[in-house]
Amino acid sequence: MKKKIARFSLILLIALSEVLLIKCNSVETQNPLEQRLDSLMSKMGMQEKIEQLYYKTDGNERLGIPQFTGSDGPHGIGNNAKGFSSFPVTIAMAATWDPDLITRVGRAIALEQAARGRYRIAGPTLDLLIDPRIGRAAETVGEDPFLGGRIAEAFILGQNTTSVFGTIKHYNLNTYEFNRRTNNYLSDERSLVEFWGYHWKRAIQEGGAISVMCAYNWINGDKCAENKYLIKELLRDHWGFSYYTMCDWGGFSSTKKALNSELDFCEGNDLYIKELPDGVKNGRFDSTLVERATRNVLRTKIISGMIDGVPVIPESVIDSREHRKLVYESGLKSLILLKNQDNILPLNKETVKSVAVIGPNAFVLPLDGNSSSKVIPSYQISVENAIRKRLGDTRVNYAKGCNINDADKHQFGEALSAAKKSEYVVFVAGLDNTVEGEGYFLFRDADEKGEEKLQGPTELLRRYCFREFKTI
């Protein structure tokens, strides 16, 4: 009998000690951030929690919760803002192969946003380039997720040295701009993780991204903003992302699917703010999913410093001397020399006799395509203007020669004349915002008809510049 009592007492003692240990550990190890979220959430009614999920109502004056403010900004402040530094586009950043440089670029752009009193930047862009005609090739991080991941990580690390945070976009498989709201891409899970997802994982786990924007397109039959595998399983469960997700502008149509997939923030439509209040009351939507989404939004607002207050950054950092130097440095390092036959470069400005500057982009400086990320700097220097400043007017012969997006040949003669009286020809072609930008797909009609693309620049090069002259 004594043995049974002793054994029972021992078991009871062990059980009691385990309970005390668990209780002790739960108090000691509980995350202070989560404790703070518990306290803040306890002060909010359901309507206030829902309002945190909508871009027009997510500020709460009673509780001192600011509203998200920001703009596009993968290579400078976009959305038609004027007078800001314009750094190389994303694919050119990747071409630098210099993460340390891009960290400084990310910081500079974020500081200019902070000087405006804004909290967020939509960027960097993590789209992969699968076809140069997709419409927003310049905004992609290139075709390599390994390099793209390093560059995105570096950019975010730079942002995170400031009070401004970035929303990485567009998750995921945002490729062709044409029919971008209805394109449905099929992919196996391994490819989504190891190829299409590799650089996203790195941006989150190594870069420290705290906001993700879902793409317009569909993957395996579901819109990205309504895709449970993409958001809940991959982004959160596998990669450990605990901050807020958002749709691209109006990028979902089913509140139920978006909420169940753990899309937190609604921008560009009013589905959440319209449907969730009554839907939660009548049981159509699970209130715990709203709690979870609100918690993710508030977690981001706390960790970014929005709620506690951020440093005041002087407006003098915008387009500052230091930033102009960084624009120049990053621009130089982003340039790629594919070939230098007979060591034609560099030209010696002391001995060169004359240069013909020809091409549709010689007299202008297209910094990006026609999209929300377009930066309008305080000044621009075209190739023609830069060469003229170096060599003087008498040694430069300029002719446009052709347009980018048509087959008009009436300017060919002027270009040929300029080339004939010059020692060298500098031909500046490429694309511009008439053929590349948000929602565009280059030469779709020409593709369907089997026509040649960029007929003007292509023919001008074939007929004259490459064959007869020293052309750069």
Query: pLDDT tens digits, residue range 302-322?
Result: 999 999 999 999 999 999 999
pTM: 0.90
pLDDT in tens, 79-133: 888 999 999 999 999 999 999 999 999 999 999 999 999 999 999 999 999 988 8
Angle (CA) 204 124 201, round 5°: 20
Same domain, 135 and 164: yes
- In this prediction, residues 6-25 reach a mean pLDDT of 42
Q: Which residue has the higher pLDDT, 132 or 282?
A: 282
Predicted confidence band at 443 (pLDDT cuts at 50, 70, 90)?
A: low
Among 287, 316, 345, which residue terminates a domain? Answer: 316
pLDDT in tens, 396-439: 999 999 888 777 888 989 999 999 999 999 999 888 877 788 87
Instruction: Determine, yes or no, domain membership for 199.
Output: yes
> Which residue, chain included where needed, has tokens 């490429």?
430
Residues 6+ apart with CB under 8 A from 177: 134, 135, 136, 437, 438, 439, 440, 441
Predicted confidence band at 373 (pLDDT cuts at 50, 70, 90)?
A: confident
CA–CA distance, 372 with 79 (Å, rounded to integer): 5
The pLDDT, as a whole number, for residue 366 is 87
Cis bond before residue 314 (omega within 30° of 0): no
Same domain, 63 and 185: yes
Same domain, 81 and 172: yes
Instruction: Determine, yes or no, domain membership for 24.
Output: yes
- Confirm if 49 and 294 have CB atoms less than 8 A apart: yes
Q: Report which of 114, 116, 115, 106 is spatially closest to residue 75, judged by C-alpha positions.
A: 106
Instruction: Determine, yes or no, domain membership for 328.
Output: no
Predicted confidence band at 223 (pLDDT cuts at 50, 70, 90)?
A: very high
User: Over 50: is that where the pLDDT of 242 sits?
Assistant: yes
The pLDDT, as a whole number, for residue 30 is 80
Instruction: Determine, yes or no, domain membership for 161.
Output: yes
DSSP 8-class letter at 376? B
* 359, 361, 363, 366: CA torsion to nearest 10: 180
User: Over 80: is that where the pLDDT of 29 sits?
Assistant: no
Same domain, 182 and 132: yes
Q: Report which of 288, 290, 245, 286 is spatially closest to residue 267, judged by C-alpha positions.
A: 245
Same domain, 177 and 299: yes
Q: Provide, rounded to the nearest whole percent, the portion of the chain with pLDDT above 90.
A: 77
Instruction: Determine, yes or no, domain membership for 214.
Output: yes
What's the CATH code of the domain at 55?
3.20.20.300
Instruction: Determine, yes or no, domain membership for 394.
Output: yes
The pLDDT, as a whole number, for residue 104 is 98
The pLDDT, as a whole number, for residue 198 is 98
Instruction: Determine, yes or no, domain membership for 330.
Output: no
Same domain, 243 and 369: no
Same domain, 40 and 26: no
User: Over 70: is that where the pLDDT of 35 sits?
Assistant: yes
What's the CATH code of the domain at 422?
3.40.50.1700
User: Over 50: is that where the pLDDT of 381 sits?
Assistant: yes
User: Over 90: is that where the pLDDT of 376 sits?
Assistant: yes
Mean confidence (pLDDT) of the chain: 90
CA–CA distance, 247 with 257 (Å, rounded to integer): 13
CA–CA distance, 83 with 73 (Å, rounded to integer): 13
Predicted confidence band at 466 (pLDDT cuts at 50, 70, 90)?
A: low
Q: Which residue has the higher pLDDT, 104 or 14?
A: 104
Pairing of strands 218-219, 222-223: antiparallel
The number of folded domains in the chain is: 3
User: Over 50: is that where the pLDDT of 22 sits?
Assistant: no
- In this prediction, residues 67-78 reach a mean pLDDT of 96
Predicted confidence band at 222 (pLDDT cuts at 50, 70, 90)?
A: very high
Question: Euclidean distance between the first and final Cα of the chain, in Å?
Answer: 101
The pLDDT, as a whole number, for residue 20 is 40
Same domain, 58 and 165: yes
Q: Which residue has the higher pLDDT, 448 or 392?
A: 392
Same domain, 1 and 57: no
Structural domain of 6: 1-30
Q: Report which of 294, 70, 67, 32 is spatially closest to residue 169, judged by C-alpha positions.
A: 70
User: Over 90: is that where the pLDDT of 57 sits?
Assistant: yes
Judged by average pLDDT, the poorest of 136-140, 200-204, 407-411, 464-468 is 464-468
Angle (CA) 52 54 59, round 5°: 50
Q: Which of the residues are catalytic?
A: 248
Same domain, 250 and 341: no
Same domain, 157 and 286: yes
Which neighbouring-strand residues pair with 396?
A: 355
Same domain, 258 and 353: no
Instruction: Determine, yes or no, domain membership for 327.
Output: no
Predicted confidence band at 12 (pLDDT cuts at 50, 70, 90)?
A: very low
